[in-house]
Amino acid sequence: MNKGISPLIATVLLLSIVISITVLIGPEILTFVGDRTEETTRRSLDDIDCGRAGIYIRNITCHANGEESLTIDVVNSGHQDLTDFRIELLKQGQWEKYQINESDEVLVADSSRVFTVNETFEEGEIDEIEEGRFISGTCPNTASRDISSEEFIC
């Protein structure tokens, strides 16, 4: 008589182990996949909306009244409402971020508004600006605009 496990019993045991593992891990895998699918769908819809976003800057003006300040005349040239604006300026090789007054107010599609940078600059400091970026937090990849130093009207 041969000792050991018959091939039939071995097959049944192997299938039982595989089914048990599937029952234990399966729901976790389904939840993970479902969460990733929802997140990807949401991001895709946001990208579709941002694909219709755009801004144009008419001009940037410096005001000197003892201290200098900046105003930015912005046109929402796209078809997406925008908000959460900021400006980043490159001065002496370093990027600095500045908040903008009323940056949380909505700039409706096909409209314009003049924003004021929420910062006062020392006299001559604006002349040190090498370049800048005006960005909407709503669609930072498509609703942003690079600004050359020549565009600062001082």
For every residue of 70-129, DSSP letters joined together read EEEEEEE-SSS-B--EEEEEEETTEEEEEEBTTTTS-B-TT-EEEEEBS--B-TTTGGGE
Distances in Å between the Cα of 34 and the Cα atoms of 5, 19, 45 are 41, 22, 17
Whole-structure pTM value? 0.62
Residue 27 sits in the same domain as residue 85: no
Same domain, 11 and 86: no
Counting the structural domains of the chain, the total is 2
Same domain as 62, residue 41: no
Do 62 and 30 have their domain in common? no
Whether residue 102 sits in one domain with residue 61 = yes
The tens-digit pLDDT sequence of the chain (154 residues) is 566 678 888 888 899 999 988 888 888 888 888 888 888 777 665 555 777 888 988 888 887 766 778 888 999 998 888 888 888 988 888 898 888 887 778 888 889 998 888 777 777 777 788 888 898 888 887 788 888 888 876 6
Regarding whether 91 and 34 lie in a shared domain, the answer is no
Structural domain range at position 73: 55-153
Residues 75 and 110 both lie in one domain:
yes
